[in-house]
Amino acid sequence: MALEAAKKAKILIVDDTVDTVELLKKRFRADGYETAEAYDGEEGLQKVAECHPDLVVLDVMMPKLDGYAVCKRLKSNEATRHLPVLMLTAKSDISDKVKGLDIGADDYIAKPFNYKEVIARVRSLLMKKNVSEKMAQREKSEALDSLVDEVSHEVRNPLVAIGGFARRVYKNLPEGDANRHYMEIILQNVVSLEKMVTELVELKGATFAYQEPLDINEALRTTLAMFSGEIKEQQIEVVTSFAGDLPTILADRENLTRALFNIIENAVEAMVKVPRKLVVATIVGEGFLEIEISDNGRGFGRETLKKIYDPFFSSKTYGPGLGLTFALKAVKSHKGLISVSSEEGVGTTFTVKLPVRFTT
């Protein structure tokens, strides 16, 4: 599983006519797309949930559930309502086309179809989907920046006062006082909120890269040294494989080190069972260098993978926070790529790919 890495678009073909499915499958794959196939409406809905396509080519006349019913369910489900649907039908009546568009179909082609028209419509819908996703991501980023300003202004000052007075009260309570337990809970939550505010402020600076020469191997050694206590206490086996003669890159030392710290921190937190093993490697490619950070922790599934970089996302593997959100923004600010592969019960690998030379 990989995020932020280039991937082929996947098209789900749902049609009860085997010849149509085979024709479209063959042509789509020849044009560089991945495909999945279903032969009735119920199987089509099941395949959407299983393979998470980027677009659905959907026949209208099918057994069990017709295309209209399938499209209506997809468009009424929050998880799939933005999934592009191209409907195919042997009907050429305008009212049938209108019905399909009214229930949410994104485009409509009558059979028999010309494949050139089909692929043109597919490319157009995938392009619109890509643009929409980028706009949504940009809006999310802008909203997050606005949230940073509001939280840092509205929360930090009263939080300092709450923490300061709570610590003073706790200090003055005699040993054995039952209220000490409640004050400890208050102070623990204050520390969590203080960390959140600090991460929010740091997150806003993740997109600003001050360029200076940086030895990635040395940055990784420094970052690993920050975890020496946890590594010793949790008996984590650390294996490093650093490429020799690593080229020096231009990078923001503070931001990139923070990004690596956050990734390693998540790896350490994910390893709850012995033996614990952390593998950190650097690899030199043509025009780029690669950093791999692997653990044998709990891992996570596909649905978690989609949300792993979302601010405050919480899972059984990782608690709520902004560490991976910061890592993603920092790597992007260096014109790099970050991807993650994971398997539940096996472990997780984060890969950061950075250009050796770049201009802003």
So what's the pLDDT on residue 318?
46
Where do the structural domains in the chain lie, given as residue ranges?
Answer: 10-134, 155-205, 212-355
Percent share of the chain, pLDDT over 70: 88
Q: How many CB atoms lie within 10 A of CB 336?
A: 22
Spatial contact of 322 and 199, defined as CB atoms under 8 Å apart: yes
The arithmetic mean of pLDDT across residues 152-171, rounded, is 86
What is the third-level CATH fold of 212-355?
Heat Shock Protein 90 (3.30.565)
- Into which CATH architecture does domain 10-134 fall? 3-Layer(aba) Sandwich (3.40)
Confidence category of residue 211, pLDDT binned at 50, 70, 90: confident
* pLDDT tens-digit map of 261-284: 999 998 998 898 889 999 999 999
Nearest Cα to Cα of residue 325 among 212, 196, 215, 222: 196
Tokens at residue 44, please? 């089509």
Phi, psi of 298 (to 5 degrees): -70, -30
* pLDDT tens-digit map of 100-149: 778 888 998 888 889 999 999 999 999 998 888 878 777 776 776 777 67
Mean pLDDT of the chain: 85
The whole-model pTM stands at: 0.54
Query: How far is Cα 327 from Cα 330, in angstroms, rounded to an integer?
Result: 5
So what's the pLDDT on residue 222?
94
Q: Is the pLDDT of residue 301 over 50?
A: yes
Phi, psi of 294 (to 5 degrees): -120, 145
3 state SS of 341: strand
So what's the pLDDT on residue 140?
74
Spatial contact of 121 and 91, defined as CB atoms under 8 Å apart: no
